[in-house]
Amino acid sequence: MPGVTVRDGETIDEALRRFRNVCRSAKIQESYKRAQTYEKPSEKRRRKIKENEKKRARKSRKSG
């Protein structure tokens, strides 16, 4: 479970924004939504392939 400690001089709103970013990067909401419905193995495979293609494309754009 991600957590955020409030820094000195930081408002609650800023800490909440950081917490949301941490949760987004941990993909908590995404995995929760995925667990709510059944996903066929073929759909799961297709989704993972698509995610890997996106990652590869992002990496190639970053590297040049």
Give the pLDDT confidence of 12-57 residue by residue, as tens digits.
999 999 999 999 888 888 888 889 999 999 999 999 999 999 999 9
Distance CA 58, CA 30 (A): 20
Tell me what pLDDT residue 44 has: 94
pLDDT over threshold 70, residue 64:
no
Q: What is the pTM of this model?
A: 0.56
Tell me what pLDDT residue 16 has: 94
In a domain, 6, yes or no: no
Structural domain range at position 32: 12-63
In a domain, 4, yes or no: no
pLDDT over threshold 80, residue 58:
yes
In a domain, 1, yes or no: no
Q: 47 CB contacts (<8 Å, ≥6 apart)?
A: 39
In a domain, 50, yes or no: yes
